[in-house]
Chains A and B, each alone.
Chain A
Amino acid sequence: MSEKVLMKGNEAIAEAAIRAGCRHYFGYPITPQTELAAYMSKRMPKIGGVFLQAESEIAAINMVYGVAGTGKRVMTSSSSPGVSLKQEGISYIAGSDLPALIVNVQRGGPGLGGIQPSQSDYFQATKGGGHGDYHLIVLTPASVQEMADLTGLAFDLADKYRMPAMLLADGTTGQMMEPVALPEEAPVLIDKPWAVTGTGMARRHNIINSLYLQPDELEKMNFARFERYAEVEKNEVRYESFLTEDADIVIVAFGIAARVSKNAVVAARKEGIKAGLIRPITVWPFPKQALSDLANTAKGFISVELSMGQMIEDVRLSIHDRKPVRLCNRAGGMIPSPDEVLAAIRKMQEEV
């Protein structure tokens, strides 16, 4: 780790990606992630990398698809409406079993929505987004340090499991500056015998493709892919647990919502309410087991979200509705205050 510097979250992702060996970036500007593309446009030419501002988000994701097929580390970034445009390409990348990184610095929706922070693309990120049976590994940074750290991890996991990964950030974590110790530039690049890099007349050519017209063949591909997903679910669940051991009320929140919730948990503890926080760092795979275990001891759960309530469905599924689950939310670019979360904790304390 190097000396700490102050950086915007968007810039930290860009620099961490470069240090993870990414030399190909394709994007299209949109608030609130534009600093990421701007950073890449300055840095990539200096290090022999490629920065390309495509004519659209759709073009950018298909350029990512192309480079991913060659086995090189590649990424794109956008914000909610732009990520919607990329969904077809993401499905193709997943259907071709290719690693790539997609960054979504979320803003309020639906439609063009607004430009303020949001978490309302949770369903899109974790439940598909594009067509067909597939998953992304979805990582949710809550600090500028994590913007950097999870970028490197996302590339590693994408390579390891041959699937696209997504950083699901938001306008706040993208725009804010915090001290960050950037990782050393020491990417662990694994061998990719499937990559399309030229045969040198020495082997049979590789094919990158997502089209399988024989249904039995396509079914086999789907089952094989889901065996890999099962491995991801077994090995790659990540979350932070804060004061949950004796907690009566467990808050579940990720990203900026978790930062706000942590303040509320501390305030609740001062009032004698046993509150705790589970902060999923991966939302796919979701920390189901951790929540299920806590349902044995906790009296209730609160899902704090910058959406109309999306992750709450995973919380309820994880604990099989054994305990009450409430929603504390703001939408459209608004962020709940610690006081609002504290009020939700107090209300649940009375209820349970």
Chain B
Amino acid sequence: MTTEILIAGFGGQGVLFAGKFLAYKGLIEDRQVSWLPSYGPEMRGGTANCSVILSDDPVGSPIVSKPMILMAMNLPSLDKYENDVLPGGMIFVDSTLISRKVTRTDVKVFYIPSTQLAKDIGAPTLANMVMTGKVIRECADISDQNLEAALGKVVSARHADLKEINLKALQTGMEYAD
């Protein structure tokens, strides 16, 4: 089984961090993983994205051009990548920031007000992890195990006190029913 994920949004929304979290979770689970950030001109224009591949086999190309899962954290990202998602794939939409609906009919769509939910739990910068929680809940290939262990790898020791709120954000997303 191979799951290819594209996470896209504004710089500052924690797009790269969410990707790192999923990649580390995969590594802890002894899977093959790759994480590739955008670092090009689009970064300088304010948008960021990263490709994450989780697989039971060695990862070939680390570039995700046809994602199984798209996490769209803002409208430009949904506009840009909606059509690239594989038929039968999943699109996760931050419905706090994106008011339009997905036009594709051959994919599963989850609208989750992750920015609002993050504010509600007092962690306005963790919309990324709320949405990641929802992805973990809905994607059969990503287990709900090892959350704390993976957070331990990506939250630096200096900010260890932030592990708990990250976990809460993940759980908020996992529990959200749209």
Give the B-binding residues of A (Cβ under 8 A).
4, 6, 31-32, 114-116, 171-172, 175-179, 256, 259-260, 262-263, 266, 333, 335, 337-338
B residues near A179, Cβ cutoff 8 Å: 27, 32-33
B150 to nearest A CB, angstroms? 10
Bound-state Cα–Cα, A287 to B33, Å: 30
Nearest residue (CB) in A for B37 is A175
Quick one: closest A residue to B26, CB to CB? A179
Is B134 among interface residues, defined by CB-CB distance under 8 A? no
Known: A6-B153, A172-B63, A176-B34. 4 other contacts (CB 8 A): A32-B39, A177-B36, A259-B62, A266-B60
Are A178 and B39 interface neighbours, CB within 8 A?
no
Chain B residues with CB under 8 Å of A337's CB are 63, 65
A31 to B40, CA, bound (A): 9
Asked if A177 contacts B35 (CB within 8 A), the reply is yes
Complex Cα–Cα for A263 and B61 (A): 7
Cβ-defined partner of B23 (8 Å) among A32, A177, A338: A177
Q: Of B34, B35, B60, which contacts A338 at CB under 8 A? A: B60
Q: Which of B20, B39, B40, B62 contacts A6 (CB 8 A)?
A: B20
B interface residues, how many (CB within 8 angstroms): 20
Task: Note all chain A residues with C-beta closer than 8 A to B63.
Answer: 172, 260, 335, 337
Report the bound CA distance from A174 to B58 in whole Å.
Answer: 19
Contact (Cβ within 8 A) B40 A115: yes
Is the beta-carbon distance between B35 and A178 smaller than 8 angstroms? yes
Taking A6-B20, A6-B23 as contacts, is the C-beta distance between A333 and B40 under 8 angstroms?
Answer: yes
Residue of B whose beta carbon sits closest to that of A107: B40
B41 within 8 A of A: yes
Given contacts A178-B33, A178-B34, A179-B33, A259 and B61 within 8 Å (CB-CB): yes
Are A262 and B39 closer than 8 Å at their CB atoms?
no
Known contacts being A32-B39, A177-B34, A178-B35, is A6 close to B60, with CB within 8 Å? no
Contact A176 B35 (CB under 8 A): yes
> Any chain A CB within 8 A of the CB of B142?
no
Interface residue B59 (Cβ < 8 Å from any Cβ of A): yes
- Kindly state whether residue B24 has any CB partner on chain A within 8 Å: yes
A31 close to B39 (CB less than 8 A): yes
Alpha-carbon gap, A260 to B34, bound state (A): 14
In the complex, which residues of chain A have a beta carbon less than 8 angstroms from the beta carbon of B33? 6, 178-179
Question: B23, B32, B37, B40 — which one has the most chain A CB atoms within 10 A of its CB?
Answer: B40
**Cβ A178 vs Cβ B62 within 8 A:** yes
9 nearest interchain CB pairs? A263-B60, A177-B35, A176-B36, A260-B61, A262-B60, A259-B61, A178-B34, A263-B61, A176-B62
Residues of B within 8 A of A335 (CB): 63
A171 to B41, CA, bound (A): 13
- Interface flags for B38-69 (1: CB within 8 Å of A; 0: not) read 01110000000000000000011111010000
A338 to B24, CA, bound (A): 26
23 contacts between A and B (CB under 8 A): A4-B27, A6-B20, A6-B33, A114-B41, A115-B39, A175-B39, A176-B36, A176-B37, A176-B62, A177-B23, A177-B36, A178-B35, A179-B27, A179-B33, A259-B61, A260-B60, A263-B60, A263-B61, A333-B40, A335-B63, A337-B63, A337-B65, A338-B60
